[in-house]
Structure 1
């Protein structure tokens, strides 16, 4: 019986997973790809961006909103996969874009469930790493962590976010270093060495610019990861296996910024940068309504780096407004000005 291959795309918030998945769909070349998007928070942004990029073609897309596919995989992942399996003759490949806060190994393990194993196999786990975030220490606020280590050797040397990062790397069959063009050659070599120390011996590393990687390199890896679980170390699973007290990071939350319109995008970005400096914010992403412009604008931010572009016209009957999702630790947004 033919098994549908699955590619799991993982990586922390803002590393470029959605851009990569968008390119995978755009360059499908007739391959029928079904997409499952798992976002953190109740309001989906990535799924909307991907659907808008499908143009006139129908997107075979399922959206989940629990954000952390972890110990609760069965609640949403299993029924979603069973739904796709019902149409397996219409699907050549399944791509799962996880939330930046999700660990990939529980998904790989879930493929061995009796209801799923006869029908699907993990073609590969692809972990995306943000070159700029690693190079500058922005990721996981490594400078702050290092200061804590120097001050007190008794402290845990790895924050929960760092553990998540290591779990994503140790499970990978392929690591893509995104935003390669934004770092110098010597910085990239340092990143490459850092990542090489964390991954399994047979895992490849590829630099990426603007999510542009051929599907010939991304699909058809045939790793059968579900048969190779023991070689994919998980700090999270280690805690559970050894009976250690373990709580999920409930301090990470989402907040919404909404106002009718934004007349000055540069002023809005300056306000958002101030917000990032004042609070521990990992990701800002959403849509912007520019008055007298027929096109919807997408805005994305990681740290103090922001990018924005028009993606499509506002649709008839669609409410025009600026709508941004902010993800961070104990985020508490003060009402913002309408720009």
Structure 2
């Protein structure tokens, strides 16, 4: 039985995690998404905010709240039972999204997916770290650093001496995708420079994406297929902050939020069509090279392979490519790929590279 994917969304207070998740729920495209919120401070604020989203994929039954402190301290008595309750449903979710508290480290949560009873049934699809682009570019890590420190001092479970910069490093070290939010508040050169710096600091292959209002297409946010729980050595904690190696603190996020709906103008997709291919391995390498050269976020589609009755399915998240033969061609024997990326893709060059 296929494991249910779970996406972990982390990031400091005010970075825009709730706005990102609310946008995802209202653009879920039929996916059944369950949401787990690890709350601190003003309990229930984010939960109430998300429950008011009015979308069919966002019912009260699909939102669960962990209010007993940071997840790493309460894995056995809180997090695991919550997950088991979700998995025991007659109609389990297609995807689970977990919003961590603002100062929680993601590593202990990823580690919890190796617990007996969970490891065979769910997998960490990816860790998404949301950063306040404007604040980070100005040398801060949150829109109101003093407020974050006040919240931290109020929680006796936390190490009050660790600089925010070290917590930030841990969130970047664990990320599979870094979302630079509030990019609309930055000059384009400023946003590009910050994205380049974060990419250099992150692990190899981590995608850095600029957004405004958390408006990230669901097909980019979900479906990373990382399996992060099997990759803990690569995403080590840079620092250890208290005796549980984790931190947690959360109050209502002061999101960069407005009443108007933000569309997906920052992203684009197009289709490349070609004839049959002769060598699937060489073709996959050509696709990976094209993705790297043009910073393509996602690429998916089908290829007709000479002499093969079944079509070749191809899915890429960044340069990681998965290929397999699935079923006979329903229509013409052609190769058809959908390319997705940030706005401004050089369509002609990408098409030329793929069809070379």
Q: Aligning the two structures, in what range does the TM-score lie when normalised by the shorter sequence? A: 0.5 to 0.7
RMSD: 3.0
Deviation at 1:27, TM superposition (A): 1.1
Q: Which residues of 2 match residues 183-202 of structure 1 at below 5 A?
A: 183-202=186-205
Partner of 2:223: 220
Tell me the TM-score normalized by structure 1.
0.65
Q: Which residues of 2 match residues 20-59 of structure 1 at below 5 A?
A: 20-55=20-55, 58-59=59-60
Deviation at 1:4, TM superposition (A): 0.6
Report the count of equivalent residues: 245
Partner of 2:206: 203
Partner of 1:130: 132
Indicate if the aligned counterparts of 1:73 and 1:106 stay in contact, CA closer than 8 A: no
Partner of 1:267: none
Tell me the TM-score normalized by structure 2.
0.62
Task: Kindly provide the CA deviation profile for residues 210-247 of structure 1, in whole angstroms up to 9, marking residues without a partner as x.
Answer: 1111111111110000111100020245x78xxxx789
- Residue 230 of structure 1, aligned match among 229, 233, 258: 233
Partner of 2:254: 301
Indicate if the aligned counterparts of 1:32 and 1:93 stay in contact, CA closer than 8 A: yes
Partner of 1:3: 3
Q: Distance in 2 between matches of 1:134 and 1:179?
A: 11
Structure 1 unmatched runs, 5+: 145-157, 255-282, 286-299, 312-339
Indicate if the aligned counterparts of 2:36 and 2:63 stay in contact, CA closer than 8 A: yes
Q: State the SS of the aligned residue for 2:48.
A: helix
Q: State the SS of the aligned residue for 1:117.
A: coil
Q: State the SS of the aligned residue for 1:30.
A: coil
Which range is displaced more, 210-219 or 87-96? Answer: 87-96
Structure 2 unmatched runs, 5+: 147-160, 262-356
Deviation at 1:43, TM superposition (A): 1.9
Indicate if the aligned counterparts of 1:7 and 1:124 stay in contact, CA closer than 8 A: yes
Q: Distance in 2 between matches of 1:193 and 1:66?
A: 38
CA 1:166–1:184 in structure 2 vs 1: closer, same or farther (change >3 Å)? same
Deviation at 1:310, TM superposition (A): 10
Q: Which residues of 2 match residues 170-319 of structure 1 at below 5 A?
A: 170-237=173-240, 285=252, 301=254
Indicate if the aligned counterparts of 1:104 and 1:168 stay in contact, CA closer than 8 A: yes
Q: Distance in 2 between matches of 1:248 and 1:110?
A: 13
Q: State the SS of the aligned residue for 2:72.
A: coil
